[in-house]
Amino acid sequence: METSVSITELAPATLTRSRGQEAYRKLQDYLGEAAVEIDLSGAELLSMSFLDEIVSKLRESRQLDRVTFLAADPSAQQKLARIAGIRNTSIFFRTKKGEPRQLVQPRQTDGAVTFALRKQPTEEQTSPLRDD
């Protein structure tokens, strides 16, 4: 049997690592003998730090395989994929209640922030008088 819990029951705010630790501690009450589905839909803002803290603590305690994240929002799914890639771990999710759980496809990342740079046009490209 799987127990379902809203993320807002575990932490009133979902932005910081300390709130992630709080959520992990409260989650222990639900993880007794049953698997747990964490419904992320109630979170107004959901940070990578918050989710990473929960995943890290669950992994350290060898409980991550007993948790499924209900993540209908594509941005929540992307965050889980980044965490799975960074931590090189398996995270399970589903997009709707009652669906079978799926393994998050890790998003490969080198941890670096990248920026898209626009190439500046040369004087020749911007000159109004060209002899083409």
Q: What's the pLDDT at 118?
A: 39
Tokens for 130, please give them.
Answer: 């060209």
Give me the pLDDT at residue 44, please.
85
pTM (global) more than 0.75: yes
Q: Cα separations (Å) of 30 from 2, 51, 63, 74, 117? A: 10, 17, 12, 26, 47
- pLDDT at residue number 34: 87
Comparing C-alpha atoms, which of 53, 44, 55, 35 is closest to residue 106? 55
What is the model's pLDDT at position 123? 52
So what's the pLDDT on residue 110? 54
Is 87 in contact with 55 (CB distance < 8 Å)?
yes
Backbone φ, ψ for residue 26 (5° rounding): -70, -30
Q: What is the pLDDT along the chain (132 residues), one digit of tens a residue?
A: 799 999 999 998 999 999 999 999 999 999 987 899 999 998 889 999 999 999 999 999 999 999 999 999 999 999 999 999 999 999 999 999 999 999 999 886 555 433 333 344 445 544 455 454
